[in-house]
Amino acid sequence: MLPLSDTPPSPRKPPNPQLDRKNSFSLIKPYLRCTWIILIVFFVHILLLLTARNFHISTALATNRQPAIAAVDGGDSECSAGKVFVYELPPFFNTELLENCHELNPWGSRCDTYSNDGLGRRAEKLAGVVPESVTASWFWTDQFASEIIYHNRMLNYRCRTLDAESATAYYIPFYAGLAVGKYLWTNNYTAEDRDRHCHMMLRWVHDQPYWRKSNGWDHFITMGRITWDFRRSKDDDWGSRCIYLPGMRNITRLLIERNSWDYFDIGVPYPTGFHPTSTADVATWQEFVRTRTRTTLFCFAGATRGFIKNDFRGLLLNQCYNSSGSCRVVDCGGSKCSNGSSLILESFLGSDFCLQPRGDSFTRRSIFDCMVAGSVPVFFWNRTAYSQYEWFLPGQPESYSVFIDKKEVLNGKSIKGVLEKIGKDKVRKMREKVIEYIPRIVYAKPHEGLKGMKDAFDVAIEGVLNRIKEQEKDGFKW
């Protein structure tokens, strides 16, 4: 079992090793190299601060990662919630991790996985399944790629500012998940190894003049794994302690699964394979899923092998197999579905409903795969979505999803029975709601985002900015 609710998960049992990563890595060398980088960056920073304040633009353009920036400071009246300053972390904390993609995982290279600016390989096999005009918007995106995706978007964000003094929020582009992923899967590493990057990042950030403005309350970070991977309480347990490190206390974290009791954890959608290049792509896709002929009532996609008989997913699987004709099972054992199969998408496209039990943790990427395909999700735990992605999903759960209490299923309630009773009209309304929300749960392909349409990234960052504004207004502090 991986991460369970708020209790730290048991150590090191890969749920699906092929989906994850880790690596061997000289422990001392990067540390020394990084110390040098920090010293140099710090020195340059001081020098620039001393010589001329206005040089901040040159500093920002100093790393090769910086793209051309179009009028970031151009008096954009839309940035009413404020602007974001992006820290220039030493490459050790982000780009170097990506450059070493061949050693992010003990089982093989992740270079393909994180190619195309983190979106992964183009999903050519989907030609014929998706409309031709949107084929180029589909990728085999890894579920843990959000750190890279957010970083690229942030560098081109219309409300980014290069003037740190005027910023409302400060973004720390540290790839926390990639950094720890390397150390998760073998016993060769110590707890310290797993925390090193995070420790060093915090030391770096705390030395920045803007940290002191508000003890970190206006700082935020993307962490591309579930929150439980960063909440280790005992050395022998799973994951890093990153979120528990004292310096992290006030930093807002954008995570694919949050701890619902922690104000600073924000749940953001898992990346799916759909990355529209334009608003026209979105409209084409919405119309496509709206008009699909859905031949099965519901479906269940997941790794079907290895379920214990009384495992909840085992029950669902039984029910699904037992509802022949009404339910479709997609077996995603191993890496069958992560590596270029169109099976999942086809089954979501062909079903009115998709079952979304909790898996190793409360949430699953499958929730978003399902909704992107215009299928209505069926939840069994409130924490699977309702208390996770509040900024991104409709406020009324019953408007877009079905909730069946897990206890009733354990007591033998028929899922088919529940779903069959929902009238065609109601199903259509729910699907329409799901379709309406598709833009908010996908990550657009262009680094600038989509003109005139907010995607998950826009919603997340505006949410962070608004929160900081509200805190200022109310003098909101612990």
Q: Binding residues for ligand NAG, per CB under 6 A?
A: 18, 24, 106, 186, 188, 215-216, 246-247, 249-250, 318-319, 322, 335, 339-340, 382, 397, 403, 477-478
Which amino acid is it at 374? Answer: G
- Dmax over CA atoms of the chain, in Å, equals 74
Q: Using alpha carbons, select from 277, 256, 257, 258 the residue that is nearest to residue 443.
A: 277
How far is it, in rounded angstroms, from Cα 43 to Cα 305? 55
Six-digit token string for 208: 């920045």
CB of 462 to ligand NAG, least distance (A): 23
CB of 451 to ligand NAG, least distance (A): 34
Q: At what angle do helices 456-474 and 146-155 cross, to 10 degrees?
A: 70
Do residues 146 and 229 make contact, with C-beta atoms less than 8 angstroms apart? no
Q: Which is nearer to ligand NAG, 24 or 58 (CB)?
A: 24
CB of 448 to ligand NAG, least distance (A): 30
Six-digit token string for 444: 């657009």
Q: Which is nearer to ligand NAG, 133 or 186 (CB)?
A: 186
Secondary structure in 3-state letters for 268-280: CCCCCCECCCCHH
CB of 188 to ligand NAG, least distance (A): 4
Q: Which is nearer to ligand NAG, 323 or 366 (CB)?
A: 323
| 171: helix, strand or coil | strand
CB of 385 to ligand NAG, least distance (A): 10
Q: Which is nearer to ligand NAG, 120 or 439 (CB)?
A: 120
CB of 189 to ligand NAG, least distance (A): 8
Q: Looking at the DSSP assignment, which residues form a beta bridge with residue 253?
A: 221, 265
Q: Which is nearer to ligand NAG, 140 or 391 (CB)?
A: 140
Q: Using alpha carbons, select from 31, 398, 7 the residue that is nearest to residue 237.
A: 7
How far is it, in rounded angstroms, from Cα 30 to Cα 162? 29
Instruction: Tell me phi and psi for residue 117, to 5 degrees.
Output: 55, 35
Q: Which is nearer to ligand NAG, 226 or 320 (CB)?
A: 320
Residue tagged 């979505």 (tokens): 385
Which amino acid is it at 55? Answer: F
CB of 415 to ligand NAG, least distance (A): 10
Q: Which is nearer to ligand NAG, 155 or 248 (CB)?
A: 248
